[in-house]
A and B are shown apart, each in its own frame.
Chain A
């Protein structure tokens, strides 16, 4: 599967990473090398093999639906780039 510059730009867009034409072009060659490595998997017959999503076949624990955390708003917002009155500030989204 030949990777091209448009694929790189599309992935960058989906990942919300700004990328210029030149940067996409520069990123392409090493990405192609990585995908050549990845393609080695295709030589392996995996018919009937169950995908393994996790290091151990465990299911998520459930817990009681009760409040366990106290309000730490101030501490949690201390490293935020912009806050006001306890809210995170972002550029205007709705006109």
Chain B
């Protein structure tokens, strides 16, 4: 049961091999027992979860079920789910109960999916290792001394360890793809604007995008179909015709032109990662794809531009946490200003405070042009690099990360080293392009390697098909962590 994909579980539910209540109960028991080792979940609400499962069982008895009816799905704790505690990994929101549903939660509810619990994450999605969470770090199920990646590290670890069939994440600079790579699961960040941000606690609004994480590309297609769609409550939500992603995954990739950006294949990449990526590209050639050399000349500046733009937007977005309307309030203060400043000093962790300071500084008088406007100009050049590249290729491939999962604590005191673990993922966010990570190997320490695919705008269908065809020919996505549980 715990090895099955969403697709397989859905088929089994409709064949009445087991009920959603049985399935959900089994996943709840397993995830609660493993959680003491991995800390992948922040909260469960068993009663609410099982109520949804029982309702799904009623729907399954009718003809109205969908591919997701009765499937338990774990949600990153950045998504508001009505009456669920929604913490965003922060002390600031430790006791916050969301008064409404995020758009994607409503969508999953309409599809009959079951909310299994809320997963751990870096505080306010700011981190690449899950070590900034107020609720403690998540451990990588492949090696408990290593990080799961971040910020959607709880979701990635939960899927990898078979604690949940599938999960949601959000990706501002790589927060779906990087943990997917480090935990050996498949994850997808859609084109900016495809999935509504309504009810996603905002980090950097021009970059944030929600997406699915699962065991296979086929599952990502099923989940994405539920998540996309126009939402009047998100001013950047796009009206697009619906795409049947799960149907188009069977499209052949013969003749697919894969762009290989030379800037993403430098010697800073770990040798085992280089080897796995090279083998994956050879596999693609066997499947009929051709490799095309491309250049993304401005992409080496993407991390620099990102660490101006994302903190700038975050410093504005996080100004709402002031101890007045929701969340934490400092216990002692002498006036209103001190209430604000103590609340924010105590409610936010060190990394969040650091990014607010960076953002405040780059937006302040005298530095705005030198930093913020400069970063936006670099962003334009990065975006134009991709536009040029896609005139000669259909999809771009690279390593998702320069190395496999690093040790807990290894990069905590060196923010720049931590930031550089997103060096290959950030450019897609700056440009707003869809991108994903799929497992493509194991290094000498038996740690997963991720292959990144970057597609053109709204070309998710082709990108997912390319991932699915690879997964039909290989079995890296089926490898499981050696986690021993009772």
Contacts and interface: CB of A to CB of B under 8 A. Distances in A.
Interface residues of A, number: 55
A30 B415 CA distance: 7
Given A15-B356, A34-B307, A55-B206, A78 B328 contact: no
Nearest to B376: A51
B235 A8 contact: no
B373 interface: yes
B308 A38 contact: yes
Contact of A58 (B193, B344, B431): B193
Interface residues of B, number: 76
Interface in A1-43: 1, 3, 7-8, 10-19, 27, 30-31, 33-34, 36-43
A66 interface: no
Interface stretch (B241-249, B269-277, B332-340): B332-340
**Of A3, A36, A46, A58, most B-chain CB atoms within 10 Å:** A46
A44 interface: yes
Contact of A61 (B235, B348, B457): B235
A27 B429 contact: no
Where chain B touches its partner, the secondary structure class is helix
A84 B400 CA distance: 51
Nearest to B328: A81
B308 A19 contact: no
Contact of A14 (B348, B364, B457): B364
A5 B176 CA distance: 35
A85 interface: no
A89 to B, nearest CB: 8
Given A17-B345, A31-B357, A88-B324, 11 more contacts: A14-B360, A15-B315, A15-B357, A34-B307, A49-B381, A51-B379, A52-B377, A55-B430, A79-B327, A81-B323, A88-B325
Interface of A: 1, 3, 7-8, 10-19, 27, 30-31, 33-34, 36-44, 46, 49-56, 58, 60-61, 63, 72, 75-82, 88, 90-93
27 contacts: A15-B315, A15-B319, A15-B359, A16-B341, A17-B353, A18-B344, A27-B353, A34-B416, A37-B304, A38-B308, A41-B304, A41-B374, A41-B378, A43-B301, A51-B373, A55-B429, A55-B430, A56-B193, A78-B99, A79-B95, A79-B99, A79-B326, A81-B324, A81-B326, A81-B328, A81-B329, A90-B336
In order of increasing CB-CB distance, the 10 nearest A-B pairs are A55-B432, A51-B376, A55-B192, A81-B329, A46-B377, A52-B380, A18-B345, A18-B341, A75-B99, A49-B377
